[in-house]
Amino acid sequence: MAAMRSRARLFAWVVGLAAPVAIGVWATSGKPPRLPADRDHAVAQAESKCLGCHTRSGAHPRPADHPLRDDCFSCHRDARGELHPRPGAPTSVPGGWRDDPLLAGSAATKGAGR
């Protein structure tokens, strides 16, 4: 009986210590990073400008697990954390994920594109 109670107490400790860590990881994983606070990342510009640098062959390509969408401002907040969604922005832009073998390939393995 005593052994069981101490095991239960140990379990409570493990859960109590692990839960905040797990919640922290869950809350930040897969979140769209904010835009850097420079002129290249001003929110009043076309998504095609963004792809000038972030397309497959650009200076800073998007990671292979990037969502299959090109309406950047629907997800990426500015440096102060504000979202500036552009109504009617196309989710697929020339030079965007459909033209990126890495991302388009992940669409094929996931099934249909989103």
CB of 77 to ligand HEC, least distance (A): 9
As given in the structure block, the two tokens for residue 51 are: 């792809």
- The Cα 87–Cα 105 span in angstroms is 28
Which of these ranges, 1-9, 17-25, 69-77, 105-113, lies near ligand HEC under the rule CB under 6 A?
A: 69-77
- The Cα 61–Cα 102 span in angstroms is 10
CA 70 vs. chain centroid, Å, equals 12
Q: Tell me the residue nearest to ligand HEC as measured from the CB.
A: 50
Which of these ranges, 13-21, 36-44, 79-87, 101-109, lies near ligand HEC under the rule CB under 6 A?
A: 36-44
As given in the structure block, the two tokens for residue 96 are: 């965007």
Contact 101, 58 (CB under 8 A): no
Nearer to ligand HEC, 18 or 53 (CB): 53
CB of 40 to ligand HEC, least distance (A): 4
Angle, vertex CA 28, rays to CA 13 and CA 26, nearest 5: 45
Interface ranges with ligand HEC (CB under 6 A) = 30, 32-33, 35-36, 40-41, 45, 47, 49-54, 59-60, 62-63, 65-67, 69-72, 74-76, 96
